Amino acid sequence: MIPKNISKITPIIGLQWGDEGKGKGVARIASGLSKNDLIVRFQGGNNAGHTIWHKGKCYVFKLIPSGVFGKAQIHLGAGMVIDPIAFQKETTTIPSNIPFLGRLSVSPHAVLVMPTHLILDSISEKTKGSRKIGSTGRGIGPAYTELASRSALRVGDIFQNDFQKRYEALSQQHKKILHNLYKYKINNEEFEEKQKNFFLGVKFLRSLSIVNSADLVEKTLSKKNKVVAEGAQGTLLDVRFGNYPFVTSSHTIASGVGTGLGLSPAFIGGAIGIFKAYTTKVGEGPFPTELGGKKSAIWCRDKKFPYEKETFPNPNPNSKNEFEQGIALRRLGSELGAVTGRLRRTGWLDIPLMQYAIKINNATQLVLTKLDVFDEFKKIKVCTSYIINGKRTTKIPFDLSRKEIKCKINCKYKSFPVWKGKLSDYGKKLPKEALNYIKFLEKTLGAKIIYIGTGPEEHHCVERYWR
Ligand code: GDP
Ligand code: IMO
Ligand code: MG
């Protein structure tokens, strides 16, 4: 039986298409945690790119929880897919004066991403042509496919005598698929090098503490310590409840905390939902509020940042041309993929989409990031409803059939004036224009905004109702 007054795990979830600023949010929360508290990742792998600025230096975490600079225990949970090469490499990015290996543990149930998964990921994307998803190419989809087809190698397997044999059999199987189905020829020299690093990564994993996620979380909660679950990706990228098929391969929503850690729903508390003051998306798929619409989608798919910078050296954030305005938003918000460096598509905040995300995650508290990015804008627009097939609706269009997704979605907007000067210069007292915007969001979204991001660094934030 689960005790009645059990403490609950707090999911921290992205409410949009990822890159909402979860890394910074988790790092902020982690700084208030003690050595007996716990931060866990419960899904995804190194498709995530969580940026934090710590003591003037920028770090991008992909597998290691963003709270590593705090005191809390950190855990890579059962629902994750772990690339041992990427993981080992990432651990070397943490400064040597931050002892973290003694606080780090990994679930035996997490799935291993193999070198052949990375090749399968990029080849299958290439062959999809115009139907591609825009995957990060980190082998995430193939690794989760392996889990579903019940042939995956998991962290616990690395301690078994037959691990090498099983690895080779599976790797051979992948090579056959690559050869027979995709006519792909592996560069043996390159592959051998990757494989060598894979086994070095496996050796590193063997040296770590391997702990059952559910046992660890339950033990921590039973001692009245705090547990925070750091989400990766965002709600609209959830494999089932995002805008399928333009999604990742895991459950990114708060329910994923239960299945990703092996916990009963009784342990899952209200989520902290993180969202940007606007919307971004990397990869393919519909994006109703995208500035510049289809032109922007194609541009971001095909162009690289240096080309965009040369073509638009000074994009005007108040341009009447929405495509240019989208570029200005990308430039001012530094919206380049933290993992792949791709141009992130940009658009206005989408309230129906946020309402969907808040509901599905039971987000009881909100974190608003990147409000400062609007410093040079004259007005902020927010989409309050859609017009689909001539009808006004607040229902998100992604539950519709694929045919309907292709229909034209028009957005109805509400505008807000922007403050004078820089938001960060106002310190902890936000200007009235920013407060008006925040109050509108709280009222429309039905949850308190507990933290507002006013810049990328640790101290760039205004806390409200912070416990
Ligand atoms: P995550 O994947 O959700 O952790 O987000 P990313 O790290 O991929 O992208 C968020 C980007 O916004 C990073 O470059 C952060 O440094 C930056 N960032 C986070 N919060 C703020 C903020 O409030 N203002 C500004 N200007 N940048 C922010
Ligand atoms: P964080 O945690 C933004 C997107 C990819 C692609 C789709 C599938 O930093 O918010 P995948 O490699 O998972 O098979 O790609 O999902 N995607 C992300 N977009 N932020 C992320 O992570 C993402 N992880 C995956 O661009 O469209
Ligand atoms: Mg990111």
pLDDT, tens digit (0-9, with 9 covering 90-100), for 135-150 = 999 999 999 999 999 9
Q: Which residues of the chain have pLDDT under 70?
A: 1-5, 399-406, 466-467
- Reported as a single tens digit per residue, the pLDDT across 35-71 is 999 999 999 999 999 999 999 999 999 999 999 999 9
Determine if residue 243 is left, alpha or beta; phi over 0 gives left, psi from -120 to 50 gives alpha, anything else beta.
beta
> Is the Cβ atom of 342 under 6 angstroms away from ligand 2?
no
**Helix and strand numbers, DSSP H then E, in the chain:** 14, 19
Ligand nearest to the CA of 276: 1
> Is the Cβ atom of 22 under 6 angstroms away from ligand 1?
yes
> Is the Cβ atom of 24 under 6 angstroms away from ligand 1?
yes
What's the angle, vertex CA 188, arms to CA 187 and CA 192, rounded to 5? Answer: 125
Using DSSP's 3-state secondary structure scheme, residue 353 falls into: helix
Q: What confidence score (pLDDT) does residue 130 get?
A: 73
Q: Tell me the whole-structure pTM to 2 decimals.
A: 0.96
> From CA 98, how far away is CA 126, in angstroms rounded?
41
Provide DSSP, 179-201: HHTT-----HHHHHHHHHHHHHH
Tokens of 1: 């039986």
Determine if residue 180 is left, alpha or beta; phi over 0 gives left, psi from -120 to 50 gives alpha, anything else beta.
alpha
> From CA 399, how far away is CA 404, in angstroms rounded?
9
> Is the Cβ atom of 80 under 6 angstroms away from ligand 2?
no
Atom number, ligand 1, closest to the C-alpha of residue 334: 14
For the annotated catalytic residues, the residue numbers are: 19, 50
Q: Alpha carbon of 235 to those of 246, 293, 444: distances in Å? A: 12, 21, 19
Specify the residue for token string 């592959």. Answer: 191
Q: Which residue's alpha carbon is nearest to atom 6 within ligand 2?
A: 135
* Partners of 74 in beta bridges: 39, 104
> Is the Cβ atom of 234 under 6 angstroms away from ligand 1?
no
Q: What confidence score (pLDDT) does residue 136 get?
A: 92
Cβ-based neighbours of 22, under 8 Å, separated by 6 or more = 12, 13, 14, 50, 66, 230, 231, 232, 274
Ligand nearest to the CA of 232: 2
State the distance from the centre of ligand 2 to the C-alpha of 332, rounded, in angstroms. 21
> Is the Cβ atom of 135 under 6 angstroms away from ligand 2?
yes
State the distance from the centre of ligand 1 to the C-alpha of 370, rounded, in angstroms. 7
Tokens of 425: 């210069």
- Residues whose CB is under 5 A from ligand 3 (ion)? 19, 49, 338
